[in-house]
Amino acid sequence: MRCDASHAGVSAQHDMLIVIVNYGHGSKVLKLATQAGAPGGTVLLGMGTTKNRLLEFLELSDVRREVVIIAAESSKAEEIAELVNKEFDLRKPHHGIAFILPLTAFQCAFPTGEAGGESLDSNGGDIMYHSIMAVVELGKAEEVMEAATAAGARGGTVIKARGAGEYSAGKLFHMDIEPEKEIVLILSKAEDTDKIAGAVQEKLALDKPGNGIIFCQDVIKAYGVS
């Protein structure tokens, strides 16, 4: 249930910075990013899924969050992350998190029709965390989190995906996301990724067409993760 592919036209020196902050702070993150030289970014509305103090891995609760996605040169992405970390003091609980993903060596878990799947590697043990993104039908995010937490996930963020118009579709990683979809973003320890992704695939029957898809990607640096 794993494939490796490089994005066409994406430089090996570019990374993706994802910042999850309290509602209303996304614009401030983007301002810091553009002042630091980033070409821009995207702000998505998210909802924290953590319901228990023992599950506060992502420092999120059932309140609105904003998810800021910024693509920039690797050195610039880290510079912006440091600025965000300092500005929002991400070391403190509930202040948010930030993590950097490589835009090359993009890893994704696709339905294969087989139970389980191949194990996800962690680049020789150098990678401590993975991000897991599950795109499912509207209303299925709770089932994703039930399966994920049962498999060891300690929290996540639900993103409502919508287009700009009634019949428009948004895009994430060059994939059309229709308005009736939900995106579940989970930050997992590398050794737990395969178990979590497999549990979600099994519960949501992602081996069947139209039921959803999961993307898994290396996290090369994380902030605000206690």
Mean pLDDT over 190-199 rounds to 93
Helix/strand/coil for 77:
helix
pLDDT value at residue 14: 83
pLDDT value at residue 141: 92
**What number of helices (H) and strands (E) belong to the chain?**
4, 13
Summarised one tens digit per residue, pLDDT across range 72-124 is: 888 999 999 999 999 999 988 888 999 998 874 434 444 443 333 333 344 44
> CA-to-CA distance for 226 and 42, rounded, in angstroms?
26
The answer on pLDDT for 1 being more than 60 is no
Per-chain mean pLDDT for the chain = 76
The answer on pLDDT for 226 being more than 70 is no
- The CATH architecture one would assign to domain 3-223 is 2-Layer Sandwich (3.30)
Query: Domain limits of the chain?
Result: 3-223
Contacts of the segment 46-51: beta carbons below 8 A, 24+ positions apart: 46/20, 46/157, 46/158, 46/159, 46/160, 46/185, 47/157, 47/158, 47/159, 47/160, 48/155, 48/156, 48/157, 48/158, 49/141, 49/145, 49/155, 49/156, 49/157, 49/158, 49/184, 50/154, 50/155, 50/156
- Most confident listed range (99-113, 140-154, 163-177): 140-154
> CA-to-CA distance for 96 and 87, rounded, in angstroms?
11
Summarised one tens digit per residue, pLDDT across range 50-75 is: 554 544 544 444 578 888 888 888 89
Is 23:63 a contact under the CB 8 Å cutoff?
yes
pLDDT value at residue 199: 95
> CA-to-CA distance for 124 and 147, rounded, in angstroms?
27
Segment among 4-8, 40-44, 176-180 with least mean pLDDT:
4-8
pLDDT value at residue 174: 58
